[in-house]
Structure 1
Amino acid sequence: MEVSNGLHAMTAEELARFVLDQQELFILDVRNEEDYRNWRIEGERIKSINLPYFTLLEGVEPALARIPADRPVLVVCAKEGSSKFVAERLVEAGRSPVYYLEGGMKSWSEHLAPVKIGELADGGALYQFVRLGKGCLSYMIVSGEEAAIVDTARMTDVYERFAAELGVKIKHTIDTHLHADHLSGGRKLADRSGAAYWLPLKDATEVIFHYDSLEEGREIVVGDTAIRIHPIHSPGHTIGSTSLLVDERYLLSGDILFVESIGRPDLAGLAEDWVGDLRETLYERYRGLPQDLIVLPAHFGQVSELGEGGKVMARLSDLYRSNPGLNIADEEAFRREVTENLPPQPNAYQAIRQANMGKQTPDEDEQREMEIGPNRCAVHDQ
């Protein structure tokens, strides 16, 4: 952390450690009230308040009165400038040390924290990349000297660096469905690394670029130790949603099943058409799978879903006991639950879908703006 006269710059990576390690931190968020209500930094031992920047221009006394003396203080804004200004005023007023978030909420939205999930057969390994500021989860499946990336975020350099550190070559990138909450980096990473890019056929009817069809029965092999990825068609969130059975131990469920909720069927405007598929996938197809599988979703909605070290995972049998979306016996009640009173839809989700089809090519700044905010892919996310 950069230090200057009691003023510290905290990076998104350093902030991630506070969240993952469940360390105490107090956040003064100086964005406007609507942005704070919509999306903010959360953690088991993180407390935050919102005092908009304009209310502190004539003095930071309102903030000083509410900042505790017994824990670190981080000032947060959208891009960095306002938080640095307020942090400087707090230091001048005698509060020290004070941190500001380097790059603001934009940098927080883009940070990926790799977490090792477990070992695979013959020395392979499975890693989860936790995007804490967005609630997105992606995966690297490693076997021998090869790797496959699942549900790639647009920050592809993170996967490239991690693969280089492990000494493996990226051979496959896979999207479990056509995403509506974030821009996929799968095709970009495939182009950069010479990998095959896989996308479910039924989600690709409007896609305008080349892809390999992710279909049930088509096995994907990673490395000479032959870690096998078996696609399982599991529609409901999208018509082509496809789960991945990895090494007969892990179920990468995409946006169909989460730790505390289930996928919403409405982001393509076809909720009434897809709700039956969603119920069949969750209540019949998944019921027929081995119940000791470890479920690894593509998103999380609440910090309570973060387990030890930041891992987001659960045994399938446990989810059938505890997940509210898997315990709605009446079919009509289920239909109402997943089509009515849903959380707001993700920011710019229609434009994101168009970009993921190849029909729009937003520049870097536009991509950041499109992704700002939570993912909101689950029925019960608030």
Structure 2
Amino acid sequence: MTVNKWTAAQVARKVIDNEDLFILDVRNADAFEDWKIEGHKFEYLNVAYFELLDGVEEILPKLPTNKEVLVVCAKEGSSVMVAEMLSEAGREVAYLEGGMKSWSSYLEPVKVADLRNGGELYQFVRLGKGCLSYMVISEGEAAIIDAVRFTDIFLNFAKEKGVEIKHVFDTHLHADHISGGRNIATATGATYYLPPKDATDVVFDYKALTDGLVVKLGSSEIDVSALYTPGHTIGSTSFIVDKQFLLTGDILFIDSIGRPDLAGLAEDWVGDLRETLYSRYRELAEGLVVLPAHFMIIQELNEDGTVARRLGDLFKENHGLNIKDEAEFRRTVTENLPPQPNAYEQIRQVNMGKINLDTDEQTEMEIGPNRCAVR
């Protein structure tokens, strides 16, 4: 039988379209437990590649016979060999092109909504890393918020839409992934904005992203308004887009809240985090739709593939917004933290402009799940 090759884009459609998929992951058990391809209806078998060097006969009874099996490894090579063995055994099988490395890098653009006066809002979902980026479009102009490092994806999307990128924002100095904001701004001549309280050590020019800043797109004047919301970092800033959407950066997620420790200042910033979540956000309209910069679990994706929820619903459902005792809140966000993101301090240095790395080095630094949230 023929061994098929699947791209990350094909797997992403399986996730977003809520389809079945059986994955044979041949990485080591610890790598699989830490991070895997997640889907609403996905099934898994994890058997390390080295256990299959003498053949695949022992795992055949554990694999379905009525559907194709997708074999996944770190970078592709091992999965190709296992897939070939399974094919020789008469099974319908495919492997993931580029392995988990390609899965970590893939972005799926999903339309969130039509804005008033003809604008559009898109969410770029990085399924393998949990990152979410945004493009706001209105009458030939675009603004990008929290772009990841794959700049060509944003540039090509803007070209397809026939729009000029005028503004590029980072809600904060990221620590879990490398920002593409500056490179997009350089390539397009757009203005790059960064909160000044996060930018004290950067070595490049930027425009200060300050509380109350309003940027208008197109003659229809779609508002992109900044709201200072510290806590994840001291400079963290949210955006209200078209008076309908609240882009919360890494302060508020669908199922959790942001961690305050990625600059080593958890005790210093936990008060700011609580003030933002329990005061600043409480003053906003509950009908605003929250669009975060990350998601943690596949259940946070809606049926259309977007990650979005009404602010009023999160006030009721998100545990991090319902800890009334301040001391308990402090314990929750300082003692219930997942492991630090891979190479987070180096990533911060890259985003400050202090070190430059090639593509392979950047890929290795970012490998692994999103870890921006309090558990």
Measured against the shorter chain, the TM-score band is over 0.9
Instruction: Give the equivalent residue in structure 2 for 1:294.
Output: 289
- Tell me, yes or no, if structure 1 residue 203 matches structure 2 residue 198: yes
What amino acid sits opposite 2:102 in the alignment? Answer: S
Instruction: Give the equivalent residue in structure 1 for 2:108.
Output: 113
Give the Cα separation in 2 of the matches to 1:327 and 1:78.
39
What amino acid sits opposite 1:213 in the alignment? Answer: A
Instruction: Give the equivalent residue in structure 1 for 2:273.
Output: 278
- Tell me, yes or no, if structure 1 residue 368 matches structure 2 residue 363: yes
Partner SS, residue 379 of structure 1: coil
Q: Deviations over 1:182-216 (max 9, x none)?
A: 00000001101111111111000001001111001
Partner SS, residue 309 of structure 1: coil
Cα displacement (A) at 1:341: 2.8
TM-score w.r.t. the length of structure 1 is: 0.97
Partner SS, residue 62 of structure 2: coil
- Tell me, yes or no, if structure 1 residue 353 matches structure 2 residue 348: yes
Instruction: Give the equivalent residue in structure 2 for 1:224.
Output: 219
Q: 2:298 aligns with which of 303, 307, 310?
A: 303
Cα displacement (A) at 1:63: 2.4
Instruction: Give the equivalent residue in structure 2 for 1:174.
Output: 169
Instruction: Give the equivalent residue in structure 1 for 2:87.
Output: 91
Cα displacement (A) at 1:70: 2.7
Partner SS, residue 307 of structure 2: coil
Q: Deviations over 1:61-120 (max 9, x none)?
A: 23212111233210000111110110000000111x201000111110010001100011
Q: Deviations over 1:155-194 (max 9, x none)?
A: 1111111111110011111100000000000000110111
How many positions carry a matched residue from both structures?
Answer: 375
Cα displacement (A) at 1:233: 0.3
Give the Cα separation in 1 of the matches to 2:366 and 2:219.
37
Where do 5+ consecutive residues of structure 2 fail to align? none
The RMSD of aligned alpha carbons is 0.8
Give the Cα separation in 1 of the matches to 2:342 and 2:182.
22
Cα displacement (A) at 1:228: 1.3
Instruction: Give the equivalent residue in structure 1 for 2:27.
Output: 31
Instruction: Give the equivalent residue in structure 1 for 2:320.
Output: 325
TM-score w.r.t. the length of structure 2 is: 0.99
Partner SS, residue 308 of structure 1: coil
Cα displacement (A) at 1:337: 0.3
Where do 5+ consecutive residues of structure 1 fail to align? none
What amino acid sits opposite 1:318 in the alignment? Answer: D
Give the Cα separation in 2 of the matches to 1:201 and 1:229.
18
Cα displacement (A) at 1:20: 0.5
Partner SS, residue 65 of structure 1: helix
Give the Cα separation in 2 of the matches to 1:284 and 1:157.
39
Cα displacement (A) at 1:33: 1.4
Runs of 4+ in 1 over 3 A off after TM superposition: none
Partner SS, residue 182 of structure 1: coil
Is the 2:18–2:303 Cα contact (8 Å) retained in structure 1? no
Is the 1:237–1:266 Cα contact (8 Å) retained in structure 2? yes
Partner SS, residue 9 of structure 1: strand
Instruction: Give the equivalent residue in structure 2 for 1:252.
Output: 247
| Bigger shift: residues 134-143 or 31-40 | 31-40
Is the 2:73–2:100 Cα contact (8 Å) retained in structure 1? yes
| Bigger shift: residues 15-24 or 62-71 | 62-71
Give the Cα separation in 2 of the matches to 1:370 and 1:81.
21
Is the 1:24–1:71 Cα contact (8 Å) retained in structure 2? no
Q: 1:77 aligns with which of 73, 83, 89?
A: 73
Give the Cα separation in 2 of the matches to 1:71 and 1:293.
42
Instruction: Give the equivalent residue in structure 2 for 1:129.
Output: 124
Instruction: Give the equivalent residue in structure 2 for 1:190.
Output: 185
Give the Cα separation in 2 of the matches to 1:180 and 1:50.
30
> What percent identity do the matched residue pairs reach?
62
Cα displacement (A) at 1:321: 0.3
Partner SS, residue 165 of structure 1: helix
Cα displacement (A) at 1:34: 1.5
Cα displacement (A) at 1:128: 0.3
Cα displacement (A) at 1:49: 1.7
